[in-house]
Structure 1
């Protein structure tokens, strides 16, 4: 049973959870079926994170929950996505915990072709105009507005109601706040506009990195609840907000993520052979697994350093990844998914030195150097690559982070030639060394 206290004429003290960007059943990017058990757990991670959030709300006996947009990730593949969310809201209803939510760009009215009835403890703010909901026994007023369209380009803040006198005012807004963190600048506004509104707390969504932008009044991005790709590394959480006598007394992160993405650099310049590289990867994987405290770790390894092994490593990307995943599989109870290995090593023999060699390696280096400035070769590559890149699905084009794939999509011919050339040179050097 939650207790609410009031000291004299001061405002009541209470606690609530601020979360956003749940992206329920969002597809995880960068998964491979080579590790089916881990991949399946990652696919369920957004559901498990929401379950953990509801568990935390019940265990901490919070007074209400605020969801600042993007409950979903667009239209559902089937009704089970909506059924799962409704079930979690019923759990909160059973504990008399109300929920106040707005729809963001991913779950705007024009994005969703399906809907299910929510329990009575859930209030969804209107997409027609900003509105105010009061919780009289707590002296709280919440102001919010849902998105009607995916791309909201108007500043919504001027339309939000004036603060209610004598209560704790919370603004709930889904905004890019000037394109923060590389996110689309939906519902654009400035920090100064938010702090000048007169509210006590702004519960923001859309930007996936947690950040406290201001205090008293508090302006806070809770970040997303569960990382979904290598672009969303590190701990993910919601905030428990403790309010005492009308002021935010504490913000406590609630880490609900069940899987965590990470990038780790491994310097292999001291490695004498392939086995040394494998051992270095194993140590990095073990260290990363310890750091996530029982969560599933999805990690991208970056191999760095100047090394005589560069050509061997560049010529065997499949073996490198297989060895890293085998090392992860041998950790026992810890679950680690090696998402990718990025080779950022440098050869001890640089391009200028290779060019001077009077052998096949030197000839190939000279051909590749000349190809960059050859208009015929550039035109041929641009034409063929453009044709292939245009056929790629929008999702791949938008989120590609592989350097050569990105170069192909962007029409960066020089990077394509250099990248392909490095691979060919490494294969040739590795073959020469093997013979």
Structure 2
């Protein structure tokens, strides 16, 4: 017997940071979460799985209209086998989903209490508790029932576990507590990076989301295919489902002239496209290092974007640059001795509270004026020291360019 464990589908969620610049890929961008979900159903049919588990965040809050739910219903009809669905923090927001009847093969865990679906015909018992509200500070797994003897017991849980990363804390728990429950497999959701918290008995798995949605969600995205033999977990495998893949393109511009820089950019693009396995690539491009080209690069961003896209076309791929970050600096020898006293005074001033505090307030005020989708992606400096260093590099580069005319 096989089953699929997926989570964090976020059907019809927009890809952050691309709406304003995405004309060439607009159709794929609008439909990529749907196509990734079609890929999930295709995989379930091809592998002839017994059932599918979705561990939260099938949706991304309330829909704009009923088409999202109708798409899900049509795919469940095509699936033609049981799907066990749990609501996560994003699903809990949705009012429309509560009014649309689920297909008969979809079994949703209660949001009022921990609930078990015992399927002796499949040899499994699934235990879960949907989110009643978006904010769930307590450990829901503590209320899950004891395992059913003689069956494969699967716990379905939307939780941040004990993750200290960027994800918000919801229904926190520890791998030790989950192990002590006595289940065979924990199907987790909420963390968008695939993680295996425990192997063996039990398996405790975050499958990650099925489609990266912004520049921090890089690399392969998909689901987990689980094989059961003689009532025990035999294999746990990741399967790719993503339609578009996010990547970070890092190009070291150190000591590069113009031709060398473009050659390095082209090589980086080729490597990233090969790793994406023929998928269109969405990328954030970062240039770093010490180069005499530093002063000219801000005026050549569109040219760099076009060259990257051209390099992708040359190898038969497609690439969309979401953002270009310039982390280069001017060569250190440019007027270093002459300007060093002024540099020291400039950097010292950036640490003076009388200067720094009003500047931080001004930066935060500017950030809050951005649209919410862009605000979440805005790279605001964590401290003024790095900002001051970058500003000084820009001044030195401008002086060097002026003196060379």
TM-score by length of 1: 0.85
Aligned to 1:426: 397
Residue 271 (1) aligns with residue 256 (2):
yes
Q: How many residues align?
A: 403
TM-score by length of 2: 0.91
Cα gap change, 1:276 to 1:165, in 2 (>3 Å): same
Aligned to 2:337: 356
Residue 168 (1) aligns with residue 152 (2):
yes
Shift of 1:355: 5.2
Aligned with residue 59 of structure 1, among 13, 31, 46: 46
Residue 18 (1) aligns with residue 5 (2):
yes
- Separation in 2 of the partners of 1:38 and 1:303? 24
- Residue-by-residue CA offset, 1:240-260 (whole Å, 9 max, x unaligned): 110001111111222111111
Shift of 1:333: 3.9
Shift of 1:395: 4.1
Aligned to 2:366: 388
Q: Secondary structure of the equivalent of 1:265?
A: strand
- Separation in 1 of the partners of 2:147 and 2:336? 71
Cα gap change, 1:83 to 1:156, in 2 (>3 Å): same
Aligned to 2:35: 48
Aligned with residue 189 of structure 2, among 194, 205, 208: 205
Q: Secondary structure of the equivalent of 1:56?
A: helix
- Asked if the contact 2:14–2:29 (Cα under 8 Å) also holds between the matched residues in 1, the reply is no
Shift of 1:344: 2.8
- Separation in 2 of the partners of 1:48 and 1:224? 13
- Separation in 1 of the partners of 2:366 and 2:300? 25
Q: Secondary structure of the equivalent of 1:389?
A: helix
Q: How does 1:106-117 map to 2 (within 5 A)?
A: 106-108=90-92, 110-114=93-97, 115-117=99-101
Q: Gapped runs of 5+ residues in structure 2? A: none
Q: Which has the higher mean CA deviation after the structures are superposed, 60-69 or 380-389?
A: 380-389
- Residue-by-residue CA offset, 1:220-278 (whole Å, 9 max, x unaligned): 11111111111111111111110001111111222111111111322232422x23212
- Separation in 2 of the partners of 1:320 and 1:368? 32
Aligned with residue 206 of structure 2, among 198, 202, 221: 221
- Separation in 1 of the partners of 2:265 and 2:359? 36
Residue 300 (1) aligns with residue 278 (2):
no
Residue 104 (1) aligns with residue 82 (2):
no
- Residue-by-residue CA offset, 1:172-196 (whole Å, 9 max, x unaligned): 0001001354311210111011011
Q: Gapped runs of 5+ residues in structure 1? A: 1-13
- Separation in 1 of the partners of 2:322 and 2:401? 25
Aligned with residue 159 of structure 1, among 134, 137, 143: 143
- Asked if the contact 2:55–2:158 (Cα under 8 Å) also holds between the matched residues in 1, the reply is yes
- Residue-by-residue CA offset, 1:350-397 (whole Å, 9 max, x unaligned): 6xx645327xxx797467435414555435534433432333344444
Shift of 1:304: 2.9
Aligned to 1:150: 134
Cα gap change, 1:82 to 1:268, in 2 (>3 Å): same
Cα gap change, 1:50 to 1:309, in 2 (>3 Å): same
- Asked if the contact 1:300–1:340 (Cα under 8 Å) also holds between the matched residues in 2, the reply is yes
Q: Which has the higher mean CA deviation after the structures are superposed, 81-90 or 50-59?
A: 81-90
